[in-house]
Structure 1
Amino acid sequence: MSEEIGVRKPAYEHFEAAASLCGARLSPGGWMVGDNPETDMEGARAAGLRTVWVSAGHGWTGGLREPDIVARGALEAIEAMRAVAV
């Protein structure tokens, strides 16, 4: 997708374009689910999104602010976001 829109994560414009391609807009309280601490989690925070890091069993990268939720996989990430929404 980065090639299509001309910017790469963690640029705000990347997240804005991704939301637009899904027929949505970036809004406070939205979520980013990803596996890269720097491009996914830090970029999402800069875009005003809450974060879910899919760790796949790895430990968090020191020096970066921790994500809102840590999940081992995609299903756990979805369940955690649903639990927060209730």
Structure 2
Amino acid sequence: MPERGHFEAAASACGVLLSVGGWMVGDNPETDMHGATAAGLRTVGVANGRKWINSPREPDVIVPGIVEAIEVLRRLPTY
């Protein structure tokens, strides 16, 4: 599982603090979903034609592909 520092660096590169929350989009249950959840992020799991396997932490949202992931994120309220 990635260390929290990786998620902090990614947030910083986007000009935000990890402490304010956010979303992680990925396709790996352990490194993407579990790591992001441990860092306090909500998650979008991209299935890419595969059945999502049971993992210690299910994504908040599961979508078939990246286009659908973008659509989910675009529907979120902005602050």
Pick the TM interval, shorter chain.
0.7 to 0.9
Task: Give me the TM-score of the superposition, normalised by structure 2.
Answer: 0.84
Q: What is aligned with 2:45? A: 53
Do 1:10 and 1:39's aligned partners in 2 also have CA atoms closer than 8 Å? yes
Structure 1: gaps spanning 5 or more residues:
1-8
Q: Hey, which bits of structure 1, 4+ residues long, moved more than 4 A?
A: none
Percentage identity across paired residues of the two chains: 60
Flag the structure with more relative contact order, 1 or 2, with Cα contacts below 8 A and sequence separation at least 6. Answer: 2
Query: Which segment is superposed worse, 39-48 or 9-18?
Result: 9-18
Q: Unaligned regions of 5+ residues in structure 2, if any?
A: none
1:20 matches 2:12: yes
Give the number of aligned pairs.
78
TM-score, with length taken from structure 1? 0.78
1:43 aligns with 2:22: no
User: Are 2:54 and 1:62 aligned?
Assistant: yes
